[in-house]
Chain A
Amino acid sequence: MTNPQFTYYPGQVFFHGSTGRAMGTKFDALVRGLSESVSSRIWDEICALVRGDEAVFDRYSPESEVFAVNKALEAGTPVRLSEELEQALVQSGRYKELTGGLFDITRRDFSALKLEDHCLSCSDTGTELDFGGFAKGWTLGRIVGLLRREGVVSAFLDFGMSSIYAMGQHPAGAPWQVELRSPYDGTLLDVFCLQDGALSISGNSPSYSAHIVDPRSGEPVRSRRLCSVQCADPLDAEVLSTAAMVCGGKLEIDDTVIKSYEV
């Protein structure tokens, strides 16, 4: 994480925290109803949480746990997982089942992984863990939990525009509203009303395309498409938006609004 910023607005009783670069993007929090001192403390805790999750999930950082795990898997050596990574791995296995294989953190064959007695091993030495379509939703869920424990009832949390959670209402007394615009030409694609719910967007853009891989074929998804997922849980939204991109938006899950946009 680089240069976290904190600004308190006493007149309107909310704070804005921004992480600078974090988890490959940036994180912004707008949290209402807390005193400045409590806001400051909570923002520090959020930053610590984000830093901690970066240290677990960032597969490009030689200091991260996933980097070390991938090295061990490459060498064919069983590796002990932290409690958080083990939970995330188990959870990601459930998502593979839920999506019928559209989401797979190995991007090829999750079933090659073997988790036994907190140790991970793999029958295929080419397998790597990639929590790219998972970690932001995971961290966002943990931040929502932290804020709820502190009694926060209104907040807007935004991980790089693609993973959003809105708690309660906007100060104007209505659900939070966000627009989705085409990254190619700025065309308005949709307006979402969010209240105690998550929104995740996956897709390709002119500056960042073919980054989602279809685990069934190993091929990158190149279509000029965005998929949005609106549901209660930020991790569900994060994972399902990636899965929706893989299947061209043709995904149906209970209590979840999934849309696809050709751009």
Chain B
Amino acid sequence: MEDRREFLKQLGCVAGGAALLAGAPWLSSCTPERIREISGEKARIALIGTGSRGQYHIHNLLLIPHARIVALCDCYEPNLQAAAALCPGAKLYRDYRKLLEDKDIDGVIISTPLGSHAAITLDALSAGKHVFCEKAMARTLDECKAVYDAYRKSDKVLYFCMQRMFDEKYLRGMKLLHDGLIGEIVGMRCHWFRNADWRREVPSPELERQINWRLYKEHSGGLMTELACHQIEVCNLAVGRIPQSISGMGDIVYWKDGREVYDSVNVIYRYADGRKINYESLISNKFNGMEDQILGKKGTMELAKGVYYLEEDNSRSGIECLIDSMKEKVLTSVPLAGPSWRPEVKGQYIPHNIVEGKISVNGGQNMIGVDNDGSDVILSAFCSACITGEKAVNVVEEAYCATVLCLLGNKAMEEQRTILFPEYYKIPYMKF
């Protein structure tokens, strides 16, 4: 948690922090000022869905001073008991509706299969709870619209776990992009590759669809809603626009094991001005890992790695610095020593760090979550908002846009045609 604290301390406290906050107003619930305001108070949090992702959130919640876990709910007993062991004293529920009747709960965290996000979110808002739900927003376009409309009418806080919006390297990278570091953005390439079947062990055959819900369309939008959702959102933030048309191809190439969702997707999102997101995901080869790559006229940014490259790079290598110092006869220490230099694959491009100091890089292989990817920060912001009632600026809107685009990606692949963004699902936040 150290990295997160350091990052948050800077928000509003130093020049760069204030500028960062101005460009990412959704961070306001986790500024040092806000955390000081709620000092000593604790949000009473309940978790609905206590499987691997729910337990990941529990580990983060236990480190958040302004959060207290008061209740847990899961319809699968082993997951409920595993979570209970982490949270002694929390009330246990098997039916989330019963949990929502509990007046001693301020906010709920929903980590259930995608197919149930909308129903639980709507019920929780109706019950007067603040809500933090895993991404994607919902399984269908109409569910997304229903959740968005309900949120607009509600006075409750709603978050979706769009953690890249709270990840320091993405935030600082976005600031550099908007400041023009790599010039005009001309395109985007995102990919997420794994080499695993996405399956979990099933103790009894009747539990197959419940446990391996990601593989079945009733519960899951497959790679698009589980993986692409984060990446499409990053692209939209980078260009400040929403794609106008979507086309793509999806197939089950390798994992022909009865699953219904694609294991290989290629989707192109086209903005009105012709810029495109080229999205690719495959789960039978992990060579390329995961990356969100923003292509500019003057450079390229790889946000997942936290680095950028310039087309014309005037920075000096160590040996060039040494030559300069020999010419000037001025002794300077030069950055020359290190583990062996390897030939760069991509010509002469030199990687520059978006963030100085240690950063956490997600290689994209972990199905549950990784440390310091923004998930802990967004959770802290939600818990803070449960106390203050402060709504999250743009988080629901970004989740809505990204989820709808992912669902439209699936629709384009299934119907094998180019889809124009439907008027019915447009919201005022969207700029095309």
Contact = CB atoms under 8 A, between A and B. Distances in A.
Nearest to B343: A21
A186 B318 CA distance: 13
Interface stretch (A90-98, A102-110, A159-167): A159-167
B367 to A, nearest CB: 22
Nearest to B361: A206
B340 A9 contact: no
A184 B338 CA distance: 11
B325 interface: yes
B323 A208 contact: no
B325 A170 contact: yes
A79 B327 CA distance: 50
A16 interface: yes
Nearest to B333: A177
B337 A180 contact: yes
A18 B341 contact: no
Interface string A16-58: 1010010011101010100000000000000000000000000
A161 B96 CA distance: 59
A181 B338 contact: yes
B334 to A, nearest CB: 6
A217 interface: no
Interface in A180-211: 180-181, 183-187, 190-192, 199, 201-208
Contacts of B356: 185-186
B278 interface: no
Given A30-B326, A170-B326, A191-B333, A158 B319 contact: yes
A126 interface: no
Given A9-B327, A156-B322, A208 B359 contact: no
B340 A30 contact: no
B331 A12 contact: no
A205 B333 contact: no
B402 to A, nearest CB: 28
B199 to A, nearest CB: 27
Nearest to A169: B331
Contacts of B341: 25-26, 160-162
A62 interface: no
How big is the B interface, by class? 20 to 34
B331 A172 contact: yes
Contacts of A172: 325, 329-331
A221 B334 CA distance: 28
A171 B329 contact: yes
Interface string B335-366: 11111111100000000010011110100000
Given A16-B319, A30-B326, A161-B318, A179 B337 contact: yes
A178 to B, nearest CB: 4
Contacts of A16: 319, 323
Given A162-B338, A186-B356, A205-B339, A178 B326 contact: no
B204 interface: no
B336 A161 contact: yes
Contacts of A30: 319, 322-323, 326
Nearest to B355: A185
B172 to A, nearest CB: 14
Contacts of B315: none
Q: Identify which of A18, A26, A178 gathers the most chain B CB atoms within 10 Å of its CB.
A: A178
A28 B322 CA distance: 11
Nearest to B335: A179
A191 B338 CA distance: 11
Contacts of A32: 326
A148 B331 CA distance: 24
A171 B323 CA distance: 10
Given A158-B336, A205-B338, A18 B319 contact: yes
A202 B342 CA distance: 13
Contacts of A160: 340-342
B330 to A, nearest CB: 6
A14 B326 CA distance: 9
Contacts of A202: 339-340
Contacts of B333: 177-179, 191
A172 B341 CA distance: 27
A181 B323 CA distance: 19
* Residue with the highest number of chain A CB atoms closer than 10 Å, among B333, B336, B353: B336
A177 B332 contact: yes
A158 B333 CA distance: 15
A243 interface: no
A70 interface: no
Contacts of A156: 322
Nearest to A175: B331
Given A164-B336, A179-B337, 16 more contacts: A16-B323, A18-B319, A160-B340, A160-B341, A161-B336, A161-B338, A172-B325, A172-B329, A173-B331, A177-B334, A179-B333, A181-B338, A187-B357, A201-B338, A206-B361, A226-B338
Interface of A: 9, 11-12, 14, 16, 18, 21, 24-26, 28, 30, 32, 136, 156, 158-164, 170-174, 177-181, 183-187, 190-192, 199, 201-208, 226, 228
For the complex of A and B, 9 pairs with smallest distance between CB atoms = A177-B333, A172-B331, A160-B341, A162-B340, A180-B337, A203-B339, A178-B336, A161-B338, A171-B329
24 contacts: A9-B323, A9-B326, A14-B326, A21-B343, A25-B340, A25-B343, A26-B343, A30-B323, A160-B341, A160-B342, A161-B339, A161-B341, A164-B336, A164-B337, A170-B325, A172-B325, A185-B353, A185-B358, A187-B358, A199-B337, A203-B339, A204-B339, A208-B342, A226-B338
